[in-house]
Amino acid sequence: MATVSPQVESRAAELLRRLTPAERLRMLAGDRDLYRDMLDAAGPERTAPLYSAAGAPRLGLGGLLCVDGPRGVARGVSTCFPVAMARAAAFDYGLEERVGEAIGREARAHGANVCLAPCLNLLRHPGWGRAQETYGENSQHIGEMGAAFVRGLQRHVMGCAKHLACNSIEESRFTVDVRVSPETLHRVYLPHFKRVVDEGVASVMSAYNSLNGEWCSQNHRLLTAILKEEWGFDGFVMSDWVFGIRDGVAAVNAGLDLEMPSRIFMDDRVAKALERGLVSQSRIDDAALRLIRQQVRFVSVGDGEYGAEIIACDEHRALAREAAAKGVVLLKNEPVPRDEGDGPGRPLLPLDPRSIRRVAVIGRLADVPNTGDRGSSHVKAPYVVTPFAGLRAALTPFGVDMVHDDGSKSERASAVAAGADVAVVVAGYDYRDEGEYMGRFPPAGFEKLLPRPPLRLVPKALMAAARLRRGQGGPLQGGGDRRSLTLHQAEEMLIESIAAANRRTIVVLVCGSAVLMERWRHAVPGILILWYAGMEGGHALADILLGARRPSGRLPFAIPTSADHLPSFDPDAAVVEYGELHGQALLDHRGVAAAYPYRFGLTY
């Protein structure tokens, strides 16, 4: 699908003609220093750079300047929005377009012109560590959410749809081969990517994994036959970072246009292959033209007002709060008598602050900043409103006594809950439980493929790799895939004890995908999913619990009653078969009821 005007195409062709053969080859890889970036990623503090590529200064082409951004700009201080899964729960495409536009504006304010978002991989199994970065289990919904995000984002910067394709296991992402039939691939795992391509996304990122026996970044069927020829994509295809390709010649011939963020395989081996006729000049020219075309297309995009005052401005903070509130999913809201002998009365929520004297907020996650994964999508927010802080700010003006307990000692927490009119238990996960995983760094055997580091960096590189393997790396070190879909056992026991101490108990779940809750969900009258709700999440929670906003979120996936009802999931798999059925469709096919079905959500 053509996305550029004849004028843009003519200008891009003119610039290509003025490039020397050597300059065209140089455009095919990023400018970063590989080993310096790897050391920075493993360090205690990680300041994401602008990843540059494809520039030609003598012709006025400034090149690509990339930042990550599924929930906000991953550079400096930026607005931290709720994760994509939380926004998917809002089922509000207009809202997602506004979030995309806000992220695009802040990306420009940080000096970028490419934002590495949205993530479009389908949630095949809730154990996937990066589930929070995508939009759920339904291909049509993923596509519409992604298209809305791109519409907003690309008013200011280029978007990048990732990771093509079938990338939904984290810990073996560098090595796993996903086997899927052509019919299932086109029917289940590709339509959402096509929807965003049709929307005009500027770039697509290939996945780390292999697909039907060929690495995605070197998969001619995927990148050329389907993406470029069948779908008519005229943007550029970039690799995933560092470990995205294994063979530069194979990648170029397959349709990859840009290796990121460093020149590892797109080096003199490609030039020699060109000389020997193993790579065609037309393929090199096509790659360079695609990189130039999108730069020309976006050179005049935007309103020209991108000062630092845009970043985390009042408008964007308000939008983050709105998005967080609209994404909250109310799963359970039963009536509870205040005193023995009273009738059932009205449902527990919303709370009436004028009739409450004391609220206990309990749990290890109740009063700590927790915005999600600390991998490539991590956003450094200027502040984070925790659940306890948000409730305290809303209830204190009414004279409500607020009490917090971290739940580390069950007897003490139960006593605190027993003395309150309402107990709110905040339970779930953080970046140590699920997220981008760098523990196998580099992937086994990959060091043999990398260029040798400068001698001065060898000791530091070895120490950095050892730290990452021991789980002592910097912010990129994450939890990876979830091996269990329940809460931690201590949290399940805490919920049971709090529910026994206070019948008016509300459980607030912080998570990126489905949580099995069969052990305790029938013991409490109130359950809602807050997700990783961003920097304004605590205020959004208070808005919902006190009725300032009516809950409107719905599940973007089904929550089963047992992990046995889901597709098989092995984070260590070398080969995995992807079938057509997953999520709600698989539950329906097996004739088993969900604990909470796809699109379930209560309101007041």
- The residues that are catalytic are 240
Question: Which residue is it, tokens 């059932």?
Answer: 344
Contact 65, 111 (CB under 8 A): yes
Buried b (16+ CB within 10 A) or exposed e, 586-602: bbeeeeeebbbbbbbbb
Give residue 453's Cα distance to chain centre.
Answer: 31
CA dihedral 130, 74, 510, 552 (to 10 degrees): -100
Q: Which residues contact 445 (CB under 8 A, 6 or more apart)?
A: none
Q: Which two tokens stand for residue 12?
A: 């891009």
Residue 146's SS3 state is helix
Other C-beta atoms closer than 10 Å to the C-beta of 463 total 12
Question: Which residue is it, tokens 């739940």?
Answer: 407
CA distance 551 to 528: 9
Kindly report the three-state secondary structure assignment for every residue of 214-233.
EEHHHCHHHHHHHHHHHCCC
Pairing state between β 64-68 and 51-53: antiparallel
**What is the DSSP secondary structure assignment for residue 533, as one 8-state letter?**
-
Other C-beta atoms closer than 10 Å to the C-beta of 181 total 14
Kindly report the three-state secondary structure assignment for every residue of 363-430.
CCCCCCCCCCCCCCCCCECCCCCCHHHHHHHHHHHHCCEEEEECCCCHHHHHHHHHCCCEEEEEEECC
Give residue 362's Cα distance to chain centre.
Answer: 28
Q: Which two tokens stand for residue 243?
A: 């470990």
**What is the DSSP secondary structure assignment for residue 51, as one 8-state letter?**
E
Give residue 50's Cα distance to chain centre.
Answer: 19
Which long-range contacts (C-beta less than 8 Å, at least 24 apart) are formed by 283-286?
283/252, 283/253, 284/21, 284/24, 284/25, 284/28, 284/252, 285/16, 285/24, 286/257
Contact 556, 513 (CB under 8 A): no
Tell me the torsion sign for CA atoms 505, 511, 513, 517. Answer: negative
Contact 408, 468 (CB under 8 A): no
Q: Which two tokens stand for residue 193?
A: 């990517």
Please choose, from the candidates 264, 219, 256, 222, the residue with its C-alpha nearest in 3D space to the C-alpha of residue 239.
Answer: 256
Other C-beta atoms closer than 10 Å to the C-beta of 398 total 13
Q: Which residues contact 508 (CB under 8 A, 6 or more apart)?
A: 387, 424, 425, 426, 427, 528, 529, 530, 541
Contact 519, 436 (CB under 8 A): no
CA distances from 102 to 83, 91, 142, 317 (A): 14, 18, 20, 10
